[in-house]
Structure 1
Amino acid sequence: MFVTASEFAIDEMGYAMSRLDIESDLFDGGNAINEAGSSNGFNRPLHKVDDEIVQLTNLRSGPPGRLMPGKQQLPVSPVRMLAGREGNYSGRGRFSSADRCHVLSRYLPVNGPWLVDQTTSRAYVSQFSADGSLFVAGFQGSNIRIYDVDGGWKVKKNIVAKSLRWTVTDTSLSPDQRYLVYTSMSPIVHIVNVGSATTESLANVTEIHEGLDFISPDYRGYSFGIFSVKFSTDGRELVAGSSDDSIYVYDLEANKLSLRIVAHTADVNTVTFADESGNLIYSGSDDNLCKVWDRRCFVAKDKPAGVLMGHLEGITFLDSRGDGRYFISNGKDQTIKLWDIRKMSSNTSCNLGFRSYEWDYRWMDYPPQARDLKHPCDQSVATYKGHSVLRTLIRCYFSPEYSTGQKYIYTGSHDSRVYIYDVVTGAQVAVLKHHTSPVRDCSWHPNYPMLVSSSWDGDIVKWEFPGDEEGPASTNKNRVRRQYYH
């Protein structure tokens, strides 16, 4: 269900719209129709980010030109935009990408949910392919499923890994959708041919799952595990973050490890390429720091281009805006932070002060006395609160550029929900409730208003606008619920 303050009906069709932009499409009198208020603070601006990210967001998700004569009011209704396009008031004779985002970003994927799959294993990882035709879900243990989205969500490939350590910790699909890599608490990353005709891919029985060795020649430590792995935009490299405090880059064309950086002083939980060039790498760690690495100008081995401070606890996930400048991070201090790498510093000399409490996120609730603490040297551009980051490495993302202009940030949560925030105001524009266990990962379709959430309760469900004709998924009250462990 979509959590609201009341059962207010938006319109006769029951379509769910963004809480920020709801207005009548049937009457164009200039008056917006808003949902009822909420004690949770929907519609209430929580902060003001710097002007540049506001301008960039507005350029991507707001109509740049005049659509109709007379006084311009924002947001512009779809009826008014269509009339303006037909009358060619903009002079373009068509919608621009910003016009498209202005319309689509108002219709959030909040209806449903509809059940995609239901298992007895916890879902750890889920992600749409770059074109949205495939969806990957990784489950606790050794099972990974790839669904054919355009083919009615049928299982295209059922991958069963062997000889894993603990579980599948991450997966990544190549940009051309030919290969999938998966990791575990091992320095060996496995790669699978997704395009093969074999549906049941049992490791080294029905298909070869080639192992890529991430141990560097100069490594003298104990065996390590990999928490995060990503393909580069051109599909030629992999970047990985590990439990030995390091970042690894693997050259797939040369079939060898090309770079190891001792990057942090604790587990590197998350790592990603900053943009399509592959030159910049972002990393986040349990040492509370985000770091930026520029492969073009290493001044010294293991020295970052810059450091970003602001989280009070470890970082669970990073997502890049794709412009080589902005990214977001999810933290165990129960916040998402937005960063501009131009604000990074060269050192971490800031003193955090004495922490008056002991806390372990794997089994304890976040201390109430810590919720209002602030980092004395916070370099973040904005902070988003409301969700909870406990028990596992919960992930957050920018909404798609094509359909929303990256106007939103969305995240899973330990409290079994999916939260959607407005980038500029920080307001919660939607909270999706269905699951009964932590939502570790979720993914927004790159082109359509569809979001899929995966949870430790074993459910994979999709949320849509306006939804399909099938009945929404109902929670099985008789299911045996498992205890939460990391």
Structure 2
Amino acid sequence: MGNIVLRNRILESMNNLEHGDDGGDGSDDFEMIRERLFNGIQPQDDQDDSPASRSEFASILRHLIRSYESMFHLSGEIMVLNYESYTHHPLPVIRKKPNLQKLMRNDIYHSTKIACGQSDTAAVREEGGGSHGKPAAAASFSLMNMVTDRQRGLGKRKGSFMQSDKCRIMNHFRPNSCTETISSCDSKVFCGRFTSDGDQFVTASQDALVRVYDSSRSQYKLKSTLQTKHVAWSILDIDFSPDGKSFVYSTWADALFISRLDHGTSDIIHSLYLCSNNRKLGVFTVCYSSCGKHILCGANDGSLYAYDLGANRRTLMAPVAQEDTDVNTVGFVDELSNIFYSGSDDSVIKLWDRRCMNESNPEAVGRLIGHYDGITYINSRNDGRYIISNSKDQSIKLWDLRKMSPSNIRREHVHSPWDYRWDDVPKRFFNITKSLKGDTSIMTYRGHKVQKSLIRAKFSPASTTGQRYIYTGCGTGRLISK
């Protein structure tokens, strides 16, 4: 019983420290706890002992205690159930229904319905067709009727399927269950990406290995394993050139690293130095331009960088946020690669136009405000108009780039008292009722958890689904489509 009381007092003290209550007896209790935990070892004279340092220490310590509880009952018996099993991590309960008014008034609603074969303006079929003169979208889906109408020449093209017909069929056969485990690794895998043609799937992990799988068939097979170099802690992100022959990866280093997929040795990996002023630079996101001549990346110093492969030098360093703010995602809005975006832990999305900016005066051309916490990922619909953003506030937002947030609205950076890497998600995020001032998003999606890693969210493929869905990872171990 005494251990339970001590544990509760430790957690309570750490919660007070993380929420800024660093005065009086709380600080003394914390010093006593730290001394007891480390068997009386005193900190070095040059060690940082600021309130921020103690808060970070408290957060890490709380994670260790909870990790210990995940392995043992308080009575000391070993738990049989896996802590990572998502049966112990249920999805959040969302009480508020989403507001669809903005979405239904926007062009994306109607264009998506047309692209996936669900449009109310579909041509009326002949009376002898499978739907007996009803609009195609109003009739219930029947693959047999669609095939019969095509053979009779009663389809929209009076013959072969249109692309929207193909998407309508494919959407009824989208994956909805896990069929097999392709591979098991001894280290954490933070990156997974398909090449542009979809024939190869590549992963990058903490063991500094890049694994290339043949994904051209239903059964993925390991083609090759590439040994990387200069990896500190883990490979953080990876991307491929448009032709799928080269890849670039990032880690905790003042450089990007580029190589070819057909090379299996680290001797042919080249370093692209960013010339940052930060000695402990961590590059969390990296991406190629559609032409394959430029690379964008974002780092933990609050800056985004552009590298010109032809000139073999960094051509841009733009401050996105404060120096201690992580830039978690960057990318281009379309294939022209002139306009790109950035998302950081200050919860603001910024749009940049490289045609009217330079390193001496890097200014964003627009901002999108609406998230309550940091941005983890942004994905473009690749049409120059729409993007989605995933956030630590446990929401995905859909944005129309033609409507930016007002320039006079300021979103002040607010330090979040929780750490997505190991803390429980604050319940207030799951049922936010009030939108931020200046929020111009079309739609807000909830129901997943952004936890443990920088969770990605993407539009579903245009060629097979008409981009009808948004799919995202989840801190519970699930893959969720919305």
TM-score > 0.5, shorter chain as reference: yes
Q: Determine which of 272, 278, 285 is the counterpart of 1:212.
A: 272
Which residue does the alignment assign to 1:57? 112
Specify the code of the residue in structure 2 equivalent to 1:183: S
After superposition, give the CA deviation of every residue in 1:400-447 in whole Å (9 maximum; x if it has no partner): 0100011000111111111110xxxxxxxxxxxxxxxxxxxxxxxxxx
Q: Which runs of 5+ in 2 are unaligned?
A: 1-90, 128-132
- The answer to whether 1:82 aligns with 2:147 is yes
Q: Which residue of 304, 326, 329 corresponds with 1:247? A: 304
The 1:222–1:370 alpha-carbon spacing in structure 2 relative to 1, beyond 3 Å, is same
Q: Does structure 1 residue 343 correspond to structure 2 residue 403?
A: yes
> Aligned with 2:233: secondary structure?
coil
Letter aligned with residue 153 of structure 2: N
Q: Helix, strand or coil for the counterpart of 1:162?
A: coil
Distance 1:298 1:210, change over 3 A: closer
Cα separation, 2, equivalents of 1:87 and 1:408: 32
What letter is aligned with 2:316? L
- The Cα of 1:81 is off from its aligned counterpart by 1.6
Amino acid at match of 1:103: I
Correspondence for 1:71 among 134, 144, 163: 134
Q: CA deviation at 1:397?
A: 0.6
Give the Å deviation of 1:189: 1.0
Quick one: which amino acid aligns to residue 227 of structure 1? F
Structure 1 residues 231, 65: CA separation in 2 closer, same or farther (over 3 Å shift)? farther
Structure number with higher relative contact order (C-alpha < 8 Å, ≥ 6 residues apart): 1
Distance 1:363 1:334 in 2: 15
Q: Partner of 2:250 in structure 1?
A: 183
Q: Is the 8 A contact 1:227 1:242 kept in 2?
A: yes
Where 2:346 maps in the other structure, the secondary structure is coil
Show structure 1 runs of 5+ residues with no match: 1-37, 422-486
SS in 1 for 2:181: strand
After TM superposition, give the deviation of residue 110 of structure 1 in Å. Answer: 1.7
Alpha-carbon separation, structure 2, partners of 1:170 and 1:338: 24
* 1:306 CA drift (Å): 0.3
Match for residue 457 of structure 1? none
Residues 350 and 376 in structure 1, CA contact (< 8 A), matched pair in contact too: no
Name 1:292's counterpart in structure 2. 351
Contact persistence 2:286–2:297 (CA under 8 A): yes
1:193 maps to 2:263: no
CA distance in 2, matches of 1:344, 1:161: 41
Specify which of 177, 197, 203 is matched with residue 266 of structure 2: 203
After TM superposition, give the deviation of residue 277 of structure 1 in Å. Answer: 0.1
Q: Do residues 390 (structure 1) and 451 (structure 2) align?
A: yes
Percent identity of equivalent pairs: 35
Q: 2:418 aligns to what SS in structure 1?
A: coil
| Other structure's SS at 2:356 match | coil
When the two structures are aligned, how many residues end up with a matched partner? Answer: 372
CA distance in 1, matches of 2:116, 2:223: 34
CA contact (8 A) 1:274 1:324 kept: yes
Deviation of 1:232 after TM superposition, in Å, equals 1.3
CA contact (8 A) 2:203 2:211 kept: yes
CA contact under 8 A between 1:60 and 1:405: conserved in structure 2?
Answer: yes
Secondary structure at the counterpart of residue 157 of structure 1: strand
- The two structures have a TM-score, normalised by structure 2, of 0.72
Q: CA deviation at 1:55?
A: 0.8
Q: Which has the higher helix share?
A: 2
Say whether residues 1:301 and 2:366 are aligned partners. no
**Secondary structure, aligned partner of 1:115:** coil
Once the two structures are superposed, the pairs formed by residues 375-454 of structure 1 within 5 Å of their partners are 375-377=435-437, 378-421=439-482
TM-score (norm 1): 0.71
Residue aligning to 1:272: 331
Work out the CA distance in 1 between the residues paired with 2:291 and 2:175. Answer: 30
How far is the alpha carbon of 1:352 from its aligned partner?
A: 7.0
Output the amino acid matched with 2:221: K
Q: Is the 8 A contact 2:333 2:382 kept in 1?
A: yes
Say whether the 8 Å CA contact 2:208–2:231 is kept in structure 1: yes
* Offset at residue 284 of structure 1 (A): 0.5
- The 2-side partners of 1:319 and 1:274 are apart by 8
SS across alignment from 2:384: coil
Equivalent in the alignment of 1:311: 371
TM superposition shift of 1:76? 3.4
Contact 1:312 1:375 in 2 (8 A): no
Q: Deviations over 1:100-138 (max 9, x none)?
A: 111111211124421211111111111111111100111
CA 40–185 in structure 1, closer or farther in 2 if over 3 Å, else same: same
- Alignment counterpart, residue 109 of structure 1, candidates 153, 165, 175: 175
CA deviation after TM superposition for structure 1 residue 255, in Å: 2.0
Superposed displacement of residue 223, structure 1: 4.1
Greater fraction of residues in strand: 1
Task: Pick the structure with greater CA Rg.
Answer: 2
Map Cα deviations across residues 195-225 of structure 1 (whole Å, 9 max, x no partner). 34xxxx2422xxx11111122xxx5443412
- In structure 2, relative to structure 1, the CA distance for the partners of 1:257 and 1:351 (3 Å cut) is closer
